[in-house]
Amino acid sequence: MPAVVVLGAQWGDEGKGKATDLLATTDPIDYVVRTSGGHNAGHTIVIDGEKYATHLLPSGILTPGATSVIANGVVVSPEALFRELDGLLARGVEIGGLVVSANAHVIASYHSVIDKVTERFLGKNQIGTTGRGIGPAYADKVGRVGIRVADLFDESILRQKVEAALDLRNHLLTKVYNRRAIEVDEVVAELLSYSERLRPMVADTSLLLNQALDRGQTVLFEGAQATMLDLDHGTYPFVTSSNPVAGGVCVGAGVGPTRIDRVIGVIKAYTTRVGSGPFPTELFDADGEALQRIGGEIGVSTGRTRRCGWYDAVVARYASRVNGLTEFFLTKLDVLDHWDRIPVCVAYEIDGQRVDEMPMTQTEFHHATPIYEYFDGWKTDISGCRTFADLPKNAQVYVEALEEMSGSKIWGVGVGPGREQTLVVHG
Ligand code: IMP
């Protein structure tokens, strides 16, 4: 399996690390690559009962023998990068190699300042960002005033770029937001302080990855955020500022689409979302609270409680389509062990009409209410199941029904947080 993409099919936090773990059991993974987003992501990895969280580092950092790559499409906070690395080292974890693209854009502390003041300025229209400076860093990139990793190794270029970046920003900060201006010297000093430690990690990651694929090595592109948070295909404007969909992987890594062999969409057996924005199957009742409690639905990055709701097959079909999924990996099925009856959203009702596909406009999506089909629960602890046949009949029916209505086959299922708590449906 040379090039595999694992991405989120809903609003993030689907448990993508589980799919990676299952892949690693059959094929050793040589490279694990992040291609978009920054330290707004949150991967939780449980190894031998110990919990590890990474935000910027690919989860492969904890996979022995794998090299982790932060590719050009990522926005890199050097501060977050070294904080995470040092955190893992302090716990005595064996970590693999790490390579960072020279072309990745840098998040400096002022990006986070701007993220937070912008959110405050938006008031009730705020996006509910992670406050990590992701949007402002991508805005600088698109506005062609961004700072790239390679710039940290040439002080005079760095200074010129920081001056250009802060020029307009400082007008905004002082005249619109009533804040103090950010000093060029402070930013230059902040960024230079990381350059020596960063330098040995920096490479042309597009070349590195293409050469690895030429040699037949296995490259796993590990998605962050998710389809419905995609800047183009998500619930704009309540999205992140990058393209977590499969197409974004090629841009974010410098790898052509013809090289990708599998695109795995990770999807929870129910739905969650953090931050603002429409969410048709959201629950505001005891079931929502139970999903939140049993599923441990607290954001890894920000500690915010996740909004919870039932599985949405319209979202699943959409994710199948815009990503060209070859398969799904269904996570957290065990969270549903406790229900007598499990609703699944099969379509929406919008202004009195049944709609089977993702509506075209934001207005329609805001008006969408779920049309549910109901499945009998299994009321059994399935966390010990290791094959599809081990699952109680009603759980099998649930998985098969989701597969039927979601647009791609279900390759594997997660039945608990541990690395081994997975089962293969279609090998
Ligand atoms: P930003 O990425 O910090 O700009 O936040 C934009 C939106 O994406 C907010 O609703 C965040 O809560 C959401 N978001 C960003 N990263 C993640 C993630 O890894 N999981 C879930 N939601 C995320």
CB 174 within 8 A of CB 220: no
> How far away, in angstroms, is 268 Cα from ligand 1 center?
17
In contact, 312 and 348? CB cutoff 8 Å: no
Which mean pLDDT values do the consecutive 10-residue runs of the chain (427 residues) have?
Answer: 93 90 84 96 80 88 89 98 94 90 96 94 91 96 97 98 94 92 96 97 98 97 96 97 98 98 98 96 98 92 90 98 98 98 98 97 97 98 97 98 98 92 90
Q: Ligand 1 within 6 A of 392 CB?
A: no
Distance from Cα 132 to the centre of ligand 1, integer Å: 10
Mutate to test the pocket of ligand 1, among 35, 59, 225, 236 (most ligand atoms within 8 A of CB): 225
Q: DSSP secondary structure string, 264-299?
A: EEEEESSEEE-SSS--TTB--SHHHHHHHHHTT-B-
Q: Which residue has the tokens 């608990």?
A: 416
Nearest CA among 338, 285, 280 for reference residue 311: 280
How far is the C-alpha of 347 from the C-alpha of 357, rounded, in Å?
7
**Structure token digits, residue 147:** 């700072």
Got the DSSP string for 32-64? EEE-SB-TT--EEEEETTEEEEESSS-GGGGST
> 289-326 burial by CB neighbour count: b if 16+ within 10 A, else e?
eebbebbebebbbbeeebbbbbbbbbbbbbbbebbebb
Residue 301 is predicted with a pLDDT of: 74
Is the Cβ atom of 241 under 6 angstroms away from ligand 1? yes
Residue 161 neighbours by CB under 8 Å, 6+ apart: 145, 146, 147, 151
Q: Specify the pLDDT at position 63.
A: 81
Instruction: List the structure tokens of 389.
Output: 């046949």
- Alpha-carbon distance of 338 to 358, in angstroms, equals 30
The predicted pLDDT at position 1 comes to: 63
Q: How far, in whole angstroms, is CA 112 from its chain's centroid?
A: 19
DSSP string, 292-360: HHHTT-B-TTT-PBPEEE-EEHHHHHHHHHHHT-SEEEEE-GGGGGG-SEEEEEEEEEETTEEE-S--S
Q: How far apart are CA 271 and CA 308, in angstroms?
A: 6
The residue whose CA is least distant from atom 19 of ligand 1 is 41
| CA-proximal residue: ligand 1, atom 17 (nearest) | 225
Q: Is any ligand 1 atom within 6 A of the Cβ of residue 220? A: no
Going from the C-alpha of 376 to that of each of 4, 22, 405, the distances in angstroms are 34, 28, 17
> In the prediction, which pLDDT does 304 show?
87
